[in-house]
Amino acid sequence: MNKRALMLLLPALILSGIVFLLPFLWLFVTSFRVQGEGSLLMAEGFSAANYARLVSDSYFAEVFFRTMWMSAAATVISLVIALPMARQIAVSAGRAKGLLLALILVPLVSGALLPTLGMLHLLGPLGVINSILKDFGLTTKSVKFLGTVPGVIIGLVQAFLPLMLLPLVNALSRLPKDVEAAAETLGAPTHIVWRRVILPLVAPGIIAGSVLVFCASLTSFVTPQILGQGKIATFGTMAYQQASLVLDWPFASAVAVVMLAILALGLAVGSLALKLLARRPA
């Protein structure tokens, strides 16, 4: 790296160091501290007690696996919903494409809280979905979405669908139109065109979108906290409970460090998959 490039990168490096690296190091160090006897202040010395507690209690393993599979489910559902949507946006022309892209971006830039509160009214016992179900005589008692795993997964999909859509739209937009036409000319039915032509070519977009949705779901706090109504524990809600309610910051730090380690692992796997894809023969 030459001097000029380093100078250009310097502000970003300093900012990342101050707002991410230093707090992360502090978090890491705190995760090896423990609270003093009968005190909320941290005692002197270091210990791996918080990590031992995480490993030894089956409750944390259950929360870990629940968070993982809920994130995986949200990722798969997002992919299934996003593929046809992204395809439609990619083939749209001019203003329509711009408008559709803007609509995707709106929930992404409005933060997690507002859309989740909207979902609360959509999924609630007196919400829109339950009203429709009752109006059509499909149920007489409200269907429980809030405080259930399916309800939280619906919320995660709603919150992070744009993270899947954007890479897919990008990948599909770059797909040469005549490739599809050529496959159809050779007699391939639509599902074969998707399976053997479109999907392999947009695989980098699928991987990028999947990594983004999985990681965002894994670390999500607002959606499981609000839609889970305190009954669906995830890594995010557990860290909040330990930090803000129990006030056990060292243990909350250990939970956060484990969560960040899984996040780094997810990103590494995604990056490796993209590299392998790039190397495959055309």
Partner 1 sequence: MLKKLTTALLACAIGLPAAGAFAADDYSGHTLVVGVWGGDIERLLRENVADPIEEETGASVEFVLGGTGDRMARIYAEKDNPTMDVAFLNMYEAPQALSDGIVSSPDPESGMYKAIWDGMNNGCYAMSLVGLGIAYNKNIVPEAPEWSDMWDPEYSGMIAVAQYPGSEGDGLIGIAARLAGADEHDPDVAFEKLQGLKPIAMTYTNLDEIFAMMDAGEVAMAPMISGYVLSALKEHPDIGFSFPSDPGPVLVRDMLCLVKDSPEPELAKMFAEKALGVENQTDYAEQIFFGPTNSMVELSEEASADVIDTPEEVESLVQLDWPYVIEQRSDWTQRWNKELLEQ
Residues that bind partner 1 in the complex, under the rule CB under 8 A: 38-41, 57, 59, 62-63, 124-126, 142, 146-147, 225, 229-233, 241-249, 251
Judged by CB, which is closer to partner 1: 104, or 156? Answer: 156
Residue 233: CB minimum distance to partner 1, A: 4
Residue 98: CB minimum distance to partner 1, A: 38
Cα distances (Å, whole numbers) of residue 38 to 34, 35, 41, 271: 12, 8, 9, 46
Residue 119: CB minimum distance to partner 1, A: 14
Encoded amino acid at 174, one letter: R
Residue 10: CB minimum distance to partner 1, A: 29
User: What is the radius of gyration, based on Cα positions, of the chain?
Assistant: 23
Helix, strand, or coil (residue 230): coil
Residue 81: CB minimum distance to partner 1, A: 28
Judged by CB, which is closer to partner 1: 108, or 233? Answer: 233
Bridge partners of residue 42, in order along the sequence: 35
Tokens 């074969």 sit on residue: 192
Q: Which residues of 165-201 are buried (b: 16+ CB within 10 A; e: fewer)?
A: bbbbbbbbbebeeeebeebeeeebeeeebbeebbeeb
Judged by CB, which is closer to partner 1: 67, or 78? Answer: 67
Residue 208: CB minimum distance to partner 1, A: 32
Judged by CB, which is closer to partner 1: 41, or 186? Answer: 41
Judged by CB, which is closer to partner 1: 81, or 243? Answer: 243
Bridge partners of residue 35, in order along the sequence: 42
> Using CA atoms, how far apart are residues 174 and 176, in angstroms rounded to an integer?
6
* Phi-psi domain of 278 (left: phi exceeds 0; alpha: psi -120 through 50; beta: other): alpha
Judged by CB, which is closer to partner 1: 42, or 277? Answer: 42
Residue 148: CB minimum distance to partner 1, A: 11
Question: Which letter does DSSP use for residue 43 in this model?
Answer: P
> Using CA atoms, how far apart are residues 197 and 143, in angstroms rounded to an integer?
41
Judged by CB, which is closer to partner 1: 38, or 45? Answer: 38
**CB–CB of 162/128 below 8 Å?**
no
